Each structure stands twice: as structure tokens, then as C-alpha cells.
Amino acid sequence: MSMKATVKSVTSGDTLILRGRPGAQGQPPKERILYLADVAAPKVGNATREDEDGAYESREFLRTLLVGKEVTFTSIHSLALSSGEDSVPRDIGSAEINGLDVTTELLKNGWVKLKESKREPTDDDNRRKDLENEAKAASKGLWNPEITKPVVHYSMPADSQGFVSEWKGKNLDAIVEQVRDGTTLRVRLFLPNGEHQIATIGLAGVRSPRGSSKPGEPSEQWAEEAKFFTEARLLQRPVRVQILSLPTSVASPFQGNTGATAPAPASLFIGNVLHPAGNVAEFLVGAGLARVVDWHAGMLAAGGGMERLRAAERAAKEKRAYLYAGLPAPSAASKSGGSATKPQHRVFDATVIRVWSGDTLTVLERESNKEHRVQLSSVRAPKQSDPKQTFYAQEAREFLRKKLIGKHVKVSTDFIRPKEGEFDERECVTVRFGGHNANVAEQIIEKGLASVVRHKRDDEDRSPDWDKLMAAEQAAIADTRGIHSGKEIPAPKAPLNISETSSRATQFLNGFKRLGKIPAVVDYVAAGSRFKVFLPKDNQTLTLVLGGIRSPRTTRNTSEKSEPFGEEALQFSTHRYMQRDVEFEVEMIDKSGGFIGALYLNKTENAAVALVREGLATVHSFSADALAWARQLYDAEAEAKKEKKHLWQDYDEEAEQAAAPVEEQASGPLKTDFIDVIVSDVRTRTGLAFSVQILNTPGIKSLETLMRDFSLHHKGPVATAGFVPKGGDLVSAKFTDGSWYRAKIRRASPVKKEAELTFIDYGNQETVPFSSIRPLDPQFRSLAGQAQEARLSFVKVVEPSSEYYVEAVDRFRSLCEGRKLIANVDHKEGGVLHLRLIDPNNPAALDDPTECINAELLRDGVALIDRKNCKYLGAYPQVVKKFQQVVNEAKRGRLGMFEFGDVEEDEDN
């Protein structure tokens, strides 16, 4: 009886594997083996034996003729079944296709030989013998004396990695020899040199359910359906194969290859198998018979393959096909584009203000001004705590710092990772920057400075660009970049802290001053005006304190309170300067080893000026007046006062206007204006500075009256319980002579219980214990301080480091201190008067500018014309000319600093 079946495959030129029609719900059909009667074909080889001559060509003829097509077959004899319920029936018989007898076609083309028969030949036997003789006479098929068998490698290549490297991504023609399961195929690769390589290919990006590997073990659900799906489409069909990778990645970061022997040959390759109709992996997933394998994303994402697989997976889930049959029906919210359980992602504009590591940042949301500490979704950076990873951890952080710090970014909140063990709740985000909205996570992974987190299969809490991240990691692995290089780089040496002690800092002071502006990175912001900066070139750190200002302090002790606006000043400096590339310059050092100077952002922005302009610092006139940017500080403070920012929110201009009785002239020389003064204080700690009282003024007369009342007031007890002086406070303070005077707090130390202050009527500066300080009674506040900051016009005495400095100070004291003098105001700068001091006993000095104390210091060789800091020199050309003549006289006389030659040029430089 004739039956119909589809040829599943051909094992040799005389053997067919047939299958019937599929069962209900796509169940695999029954199979049977048909041996063609009375003929024999050479046997195809395997791993233990070679092909017989012509075996491959014989099989190929029959495969091309029959595979995938329906035939009519007749069983002459059924062979006994082997034990087991799943034994495949085997028959001996014949087959026809489209009216052609298959055996006749084989004999006609010489691809099989007739077996010897013990029975009497029949007419069919004679006809077949004639066909064989005709093929033999024509040297067809197996009868061709020049027929050769191809070189076939049935075992996987010994050098698996080398084979992958040679053929990676290239299209190789192939025949699918076996389907082990829905996504694992054994193929015959046709190499360009004519050799055949048998290889096992796992389909990239997918995994189907697996059948049982051991007798008695159940198969995974839908395993047979998946296998049949692939077999029906690919078995013994011509395909193109793209080999992509080995089944396991290279060694994990920081895990070197400790084995001395070569790795064993791989059991399979990962790749694509492309049928003329497309990539079978996508059809398998779309049918619900395979799931997407996330870790293959690196191989497929670049060409869009992973995106197509995920689209097919979504379609299968919507259809509830096979593997997804048990999924709950989509909710109304999800059908309408929303989600009932997960909020829509929030996107906001922000500025990156700190980089903690290669995967963690702090950003400042622009709209709400709220800080967010966020983690890059699906990114894992090297650990700073692991010595093997420290180098790469620092490289990763530096990469992000250079890319993002201070930059405007778009932040998309992907999910919130809840608190887990020692890890706090984390806001996981995607950060994009620049005109092309580049994903910084993709960039750092591609540089080999971070890896991608392997999420669980159904974990949707991941980066929306997860596939692209995997592709970036694959590129880094291929190029052995960063953590994938296999190199163990020792942890970098800890930077030298040159502010650790004052003695160490002193060694660097002069070098820094010579260098001028020095490039650095702000490593930490300790307070509004105090920074820790890092010098990458020299691997050094130092403490930098902004000179010329006083910023309110913050406290690290929770039991104490910060000064008003201390936290705001710290926050301003942190947001503005933390981890920024900056420049700094140094003026001096403090007693703890900190360097006092200036910090510049973007070459021009002076951090001290910025703080003062925001009302988060005040100008410290004593130290500011000697700075080149003093004018900027005073202008910034005036602006902050005008706008009543922060520290100046309660500023009363009328009450404080006496604090700055003079203003700087706009330009040109001032009109000659002689005034009577007395030098009330001389200070020499950081160079020569002094204070004067202007005599014959209502203020001085009022001061005499005030001091009498002041003395009487302080003879009685004054309640001071709970009084803690703060910077800027007006107070009463006891001087070393035992008397009380009005003073202004420069800075106060609650820890040491002492304050640095300036006596506002005389200019003296002292450090006084809190026990000698009282609040200033309101009745003594109305009169402005009578001490006026001053400096010498046109000249500067030698530097404190000079051996002639003591001589210069002594000379100035002998000429000026405590004396009534005549002064001409040549320049006004903020609250500082630039004076020509004149001895009242020398009336000729009123007409001759060289007959003044300023010129006397030049004449003694202990001062020079200040060509660097006196901006007004050009307004007084005749005075400068005469002063230069005086200097020349000192040179000729080898006086003071000119004792051993002309040092003026060196001093000016």
C-alpha cells in the first residue's frame, strides 16, 4: 500500500527519514526511516571514520532532490522495532516524487549501486541493471574514476578562538546537518579552500526549551515543538552562517588566565543562521518557542539584531504563544500606553556637581534646585577598595569628571532600586549630554572603564539602552580596553599632602609664587573659602584658603551650630567649584600649613570675588588691601550690600556709611589736599601697613567725649552671659593697657575662646580672650570708627624676606609712629588712603614732593617705587620722575639694599 510523507532528511544516498503531518497544536509528527530496496550508497563519515568515496555527493544528490518535499512511498518489508516506546519504524521499500522513481533517478545518475540478488532477476531488475551499466559506461557519479571526496573535519576546531577570530562576522555557506534543539544546530560549513568543517552553532540571542539529555528525565515544556519548528525550516537546507563568538566571554575583569595549558576546543560557537526567508532566531522568538538571551546583546545590538528579537518577543507575549501562554492578560492601563504599577520615567534637566565613582554622580536639578545622588542604570564601575581595581576606579571617575562635571545634562529616572542589605535606596538613571544626547554610560563602558550589570531574565529594572551597553562592552572586550585588558596595574601612589605641616608648606611657597597661576583640580570643599586642591602633574594635594575675605564657618560637630549662611557658602562653593579644573595662585601660608591665595575658574572667575558678590563672604580689609584684586572685592561687596544678599540681608546703608568714609577717585591725580593726621598704629606682620586718625575733625572731637563716657560705662558690671562674639560684630574689648576700646571682630574661635579683632578708633589688631570682650552698648555705636587704613603713596618698602626689612620698619617707626604729621591724599582705594606723609617741621615739603617721608625711605635705600601695584603712577609723572632721581641717588651712594649693586630690576620682576 502506498503512503505519503514529507522527507525530513537524507542520511545517505539510499536512506530517507520521513515524517507525517504535524499533530494538533503544532505537535511534532511521527517519523520513520525508509531504506531504498536493492541499492547501496557509500556511507557518510563521522568523527571516528572518514567518508566513503562519493558518499557526500551521493547524499547531496538525494538531498537536493527530496528534502522538504512530499513523496509517495511503498514499504516492501518492515524491520523489527528496537526496544523502547519511542523507537522509529524502519522500512525497506521504494519512493516516488512527482511520478519519478527515486531509485531509478539514483541509478541513472550513478549515485547508487545495485546489490547482488539471490533471486531470479525480474524485468525491473534487468531494467535497473541496464541503467547502472549506462551510468558506468558514461562514468557518471560513483563510476567516475576522477571522483574525489572532500576533506571533512567532523570534530570542532582545536583552536576555537583562532577559528572565531578568522571567520567572525563573515558569511559562510553551510548545510544544516542536525537540529539538536530549537536553537542548537550542527552544520556543515563550506570553507573557501574546499574543506568542510562540521560545527555546532548556538543561535545568537535566543534559547529554546531543551530536550532531555538523560534517559528518564523529562524534557522542558515546548522543547519538542521548538525543535520541530527549526527542523521543518532548516534541516538539510542550505543556509548562511555568521560565527560571532564562543559561548563564554573572555576572562572576567581582574581575573587573569592562571592556567598554563591551552584551552580545550569549544563544544559550540555562537552565531546567526540565515535562511533565505530571514534569521530563524527571530521567527522562533516570534512564535513563542524561544526566549531572548540578554548576554548576547553585545554581539547583536550594533546591527539592530537585538532590537528585532525584542520586538518579536513582545509580539509573542501579546499573542500568549507557547512559552508565554501563562502570562496574565494585559491591563487596561497597559493597553492604553500607561502602566498600573510602574510610573512613567521622569526626565529633568540638571547640572553635574560631583562624581563619586565611575557609576555614581550627584546632580543638581535645575527647576527645583534639588540635589540627587544617582547611579547609572545597569553600570558597574571598578571598586576603589579593591587594590586590583583601584587604578581603573580612579580612571573611571576621572573620565566622568572630565566629561560631566559642571555640565548641563538630561537625566532620565529609569527605576528606583530599593534598599538592600548595606546598600541604600538608589535612583538609577540614564544621563545624556551634548548636542547628540550621548549616553555617558555607553561611553564609559566602551572605554573599558566599567562593565554591564547582568540582570535576571525577567528583570525589567534596567537601562532602556541595555542592549547598546552590551554592544559597547563587546567592543571594549574585542579591543582589550581597560578592565578587559587582563593587566593588573598597581594602585596609584597616594598624593603627597604638602599642607600637612607648616614646615613642609614653607618649602613650596616661593616656588608657587614664582609660578603664578597653577593648574589644579578641586578635590574637596571644606568650607565656603577653604578648599583641598589636587595637582595631577605632581601628584600633590594642598589646602587653599581664599585670601582677602572671610566666609562664615560651618561646624562638623552636630552639637554646635554653623555661623549664619555658613552652610549656604559651603553649598555655593561645592556646586560651583567641586571637582572643577581650576587655577590657583599663592600669596602666603598660614600657621597650619594652608596656602592663602586665589582660586580661578575658567581662567578669569575669582572664587573670592564670586563669594563676596553672592553675599556669602565679607571683605577682610586688612589682608585684602595688599591683593591685586582688592578693587574687585570691594566692588563685589558693594553690589552684595546694595542687593541685600545673604549676609547683608539686614544691611542698613545709613548706619554703616561711615565705615567707608572715602571712595576711590575715578581717574587722574587728586587735587592737593593737606590734612593733619597722627599715625595711630603700625603693622608689620605681612608687610608694612598702618592706620591714621584724621585730626581737627568733628569725629575726633566726638571721640574724646565718647571715650570719657566709655571709660565710665566699663567701670560698672555688664551682663555678658551667653555672649559669643562672631565675625563682623562691633564689641567693647580690653586692650593690653587695661582700658576698654571699641573694636570689630575679624574672626572668632569658639573652641579657643578667643577672637582676632581691630580697634576701630586706633587701628591696632590683637587677639583677645572672650573674657575681655563685651557687646558694644548701642549708645556707643553711632560714631564711626576713627582709625583710617592707609599706605604710603608711590612706594613700597622691601619684602619681609629681605635683610633690610627690619631696617625699613625701624626707619618708618622712627619717622612716623605716634607723631602728628601732614598728609596729602594721592589716591583713594576702597577704604584705604594712599598718603604722602610730611614732617610739619619741614615747610618746604609742601611744595617739593621729594621732601616727604615716602622719599626719605627711598633715599635710605629701604624702599622702591611700587610700579606693580600703584595703578595711579601715570597720573603723577612729575612726582614719579623726582622719586626716581632719589632712588638713583641711593644707588650711587650704595645705601641700604643697593649696598652690593642695583637690585631694582630684580625687585620689579
Phi, psi of 543 (to 5 degrees): -95, 130
Beta strand segments in 770-908, E:
773-775, 787-792, 795-797, 820-829, 832-838, 863-865
Q: For residue 760, what are the contacts with CB-CB under 8 A and spacing of at least 6?
A: 730, 742, 743, 744, 785, 786, 787
pLDDT of residue 663: 43
How do strand 581-589 and strand 518-527 relate by DSSP bridges?
Answer: antiparallel
Can you say whether the dihedral through the CA atoms of 417, 419, 422, 426 is positive or negative? positive
* DSSP summary character for residue 359: T
pLDDT of residue 446: 94
What burial class does residue 697 get, using C-beta atoms within 10 Å of its C-beta: 0-12 exposed, 13-18 middle, 19+ buried?
middle
* Cell of residue 741, nine digits: 576700646
pLDDT classification of 11: cutoffs 50, 70, 90: very high
* DSSP summary character for residue 763: -
Res 342 pLDDT > 70: no
| 597-612 tens-digit pLDDT | 999 999 999 999 999 9
What burial class does residue 699 get, using C-beta atoms within 10 Å of its C-beta: 0-12 exposed, 13-18 middle, 19+ buried?
middle
470/382 Cα distance (integer angstroms): 17
314-322 mean pLDDT = 91
pLDDT classification of 334: cutoffs 50, 70, 90: very low
| 91-102 tens-digit pLDDT | 999 999 999 999
* Cell of residue 836, nine digits: 604722602
700-718 mean pLDDT = 82
Spell 777-809 as b/e; 16+ CB within 10 A means b.
Answer: eeeeeebbbbbbbbbbbbbbbbeeebebbebbb
Percentage of the residues of the chain whose pLDDT score is greater than 90: 55
199-220 mean pLDDT = 88
pLDDT of residue 522: 97
Res 82 pLDDT > 90: no
What burial class does residue 189 get, using C-beta atoms within 10 Å of its C-beta: 0-12 exposed, 13-18 middle, 19+ buried?
buried
Cα–Cα distances (Å) from 419 to 110, 355, 411, 788, in that order, read 75, 21, 21, 61
How do strand 408-417 and strand 426-433 relate by DSSP bridges?
Answer: antiparallel
Q: Are 76 and 94 in contact (CB under 8 A)?
A: yes
155/653 Cα distance (integer angstroms): 94
Can you say whether the dihedral through the CA atoms of 817, 821, 825, 828 is positive or negative? positive
pLDDT of residue 580: 96
- Residue with cell string 600669596: 587
Angle at 136 between CA 134 and CA 137, to 5 degrees: 65
pLDDT classification of 298: cutoffs 50, 70, 90: confident
Whole-number mean pLDDT of the chain? 87
pLDDT of residue 336: 43
Among 473, 403, 469, 410, which Cα is nearest to 442's?
469
pLDDT of residue 661: 44
Q: 3-class DSSP state for residue 468?
A: helix
Q: Are 480 and 486 in contact (CB under 8 A)?
A: yes
Q: Are 620 and 746 in contact (CB under 8 A)?
A: yes
Res 621 pLDDT > 90: no
Lowest mean pLDDT among 254-263, 449-458, 536-545, 812-821: 254-263
Q: What is the dihedral of CA 854, 855, 859, 863, to 10 degrees?
A: 40
pLDDT of residue 424: 79
pLDDT of residue 858: 92
pLDDT of residue 581: 96
Res 317 pLDDT > 60: yes
- Residue with cell string 611700587: 866
pLDDT of residue 819: 84
Q: Are 535 and 498 in contact (CB under 8 A)?
A: no
pLDDT of residue 664: 44
Percentage of the residues of the chain whose pLDDT score is greater than 70: 91
Among 268, 272, 197, 199, which Cα is nearest to 242's?
272
- Residue with cell string 512527482: 98
**Who has greater pLDDT, 441 or 699?**
441
| 115-173 tens-digit pLDDT | 988 788 888 889 999 999 999 999 999 999 988 889 999 999 999 989 999 999 899 99
| 12-66 tens-digit pLDDT | 999 999 998 876 666 778 899 999 999 999 999 998 899 999 999 999 999 999 9
